[in-house]
Structure 1
Amino acid sequence: MSEVVITVRGENEVRIAPERAIVTLSVALDGPDREAVVARTLALAEPVREGIAAQEKAGAVETWSSRRLSVRSERPWSNDGTRLALVHHASVDFTATFVDFAALSAWVAEVSTGDGIAVNGTDWILTPETRARVEQEVASEAVRTAVTRAGAYAAALGLTKVEPIEIADAGLITDRGAADMAPKAMRAFAAPPSGAGLELQGDDITVSATVEARFVAA
């Protein structure tokens, strides 16, 4: 039997618990008096800033940041099409990366009861070091899966020698139509926060890899 070209796909996927939680929240107020709205917003934002700084000092927060006060004004429209009195909006946004999820839960339960404070959501992630290591391990296992699959095809044909001639991320070997439908070769993601509120127990993060490989069997 002459040489046979075998093209296969190898996949692998692992799930790993998140290591960090990036929380975003806003302190925002509005009203007819610009100075009063600004002063009240700043007053409400200060204990939030102090609380996050205390969490950082205790080791529960890795990094955090806050944006400068944002102020805008508008004249809203009434239902009958007339312009209403000027309304002023002021806000301060915060972002904090928690490493202690128990502290995160307690902090959110406390801070979310404050006036003008909205916890916008959370992003559950891995550290860059863990993500890089896991992605490499998952990709290597996907390649091994492709090699095993090609060997099985060759054995079914009564062939014993299998040599790789091409390997690529999913969609780079197959035609464009198939590539458009192929999953990404590498991805890491967490479930987004629910619109109903902040999810304090992050889902495991899925890290997956898909490769395509071409072999010559004889």
Structure 2
Amino acid sequence: MQRRDFIIGTAAAGAAGLSGCLGTAQQATDTAAGGGDSGRTVTVTGSAEMQAAPDRAVIDASVEATGDSAAAVRDALSTRSDSLRQALRDAGLSDDQLTTGRFAIHPQYDRREPGAEPEQTGYEGTHTTTIEVDDVDTTGDVIDTAIDGGADSIGRIEYTLSASTRESLREDALKAAVDTARDEADVLAARVDSRVVSVQRLNAAGGGLSPTYERYDVAEAASVGSTELQPDDVTVSASVEATYRIG
């Protein structure tokens, strides 16, 4: 990945300007029976977030069908989804990138006056193919291929990160979170005329991946021609809880 950025915490500061959100002090206690410095600890949390351009996209493309029977709708969905998948294969996507996301068939009813017994008029169904795109820059082209291949709608467009990129960013966020926790502990220790002596406990306390999403309108896209998308950055966060001995 060519670019990764720290989100600057509102209360954090640093010469390089690269830090996480300032951790929140939870407690400063004296646990020694006699109140000596050897038992004094401070527990703090530190968090950090990193942003990077997505390197993976997930698209839901659906075909729809109606018919007099569930079997007729099933057959129509099978034929149409096969055509969609073949169009995507012809565009260079592999079968590993194409999976069934949702398959549903249910009765259709006419819209009658309130209180009247609904009358079944047939069946309708949807078959969704989930498309995984490894080159985010081609997302618009893949959507165009899906539409030309028979997709009736494009649902979810999710921008995310590959497993290796996600783990690398999480490691960087964890390092920044630890640094932030230590900075906070130093500040608190100094306020009681002490200094951090050692770390007693350090745990990863939370964090995760925040993908970004984009809406796609088939009718609107048809009026402008080819699809052009501008995905937002993806955020990876991490937080830690640390207990330091001070003296």
TM norm structure 2: 0.68
Q: Which of 137, 144, 158 does residue 179 from structure 2 map onto?
A: 144
CA shift digits 1:10-47 (9 cap, x unpaired)? 12111011111011111012244666645544443333
Corresponding residue number in structure 1 for 2:46 = 10
Corresponding residue number in structure 1 for 2:239 = 210
In structure 2, distance between residues paired with 1:188 and 1:70: 30
Corresponding residue number in structure 2 for 1:186 = 207
In structure 1, distance between residues paired with 2:150 and 2:196: 71
CA shift digits 1:99-126 (9 cap, x unpaired)? 2233320231353367661111122221
Contact 1:7–1:150 (Cα < 8 Å) also in 2: yes
Corresponding residue number in structure 2 for 1:21 = 57
Larger RCO, structures 1/2 (Cα 8 Å, 6+ apart): 1
In structure 2, distance between residues paired with 1:188 and 1:162: 34
In structure 2, distance between residues paired with 1:209 and 1:73: 47
Pair 1:64–1:90, CA change in 2 (3 A): same
Alignment-mate amino acid for residue 192 of structure 1:
Y
Contact 1:17–1:204 (Cα < 8 Å) also in 2: yes
Q: Secondary structure at the match of 2:119?
A: coil
In structure 2, distance between residues paired with 1:91 and 1:39: 12
Q: Which of 55, 65, 70 does residue 99 from structure 2 map onto?
A: 65
Corresponding residue number in structure 2 for 1:78 = 112
Contact 2:208–2:238 (Cα < 8 Å) also in 1: yes
In structure 2, distance between residues paired with 1:205 and 1:19: 9
Contact 1:76–1:87 (Cα < 8 Å) also in 2: no
Pair 1:104–1:2, CA change in 2 (3 A): same
Matched, 1:201 2:224: no
In structure 1, distance between residues paired with 2:84 and 2:136: 18
Corresponding residue number in structure 1 for 2:92 = 56
1:206 positional shift: 0.8
1:86 positional shift: 2.9
In structure 2, distance between residues paired with 1:69 and 1:158: 66
Contact 1:154–1:162 (Cα < 8 Å) also in 2: no
Matches within 5 A, 1:29-178: 29-32=65-68, 37-57=73-93, 63-66=97-100, 70-76=104-110, 78-80=112-114, 81-112=116-147, 117-170=152-205
Alignment-mate amino acid for residue 178 of structure 2:
V
Pair 1:214–1:208, CA change in 2 (3 A): same
Contact 1:62–1:98 (Cα < 8 Å) also in 2: no
Contact 1:101–1:200 (Cα < 8 Å) also in 2: no
Give the paired residue count.
202
Aligned residues with identical type, % of pairs = 21
Contact 2:73–2:105 (Cα < 8 Å) also in 1: no
Q: Secondary structure at the match of 1:150?
A: helix
1:54 positional shift: 2.1
Task: Note the aligned Cα RMSD (angstroms).
Answer: 3.2
In structure 1, distance between residues paired with 2:91 and 2:150: 21
Contact 1:150–1:162 (Cα < 8 Å) also in 2: no
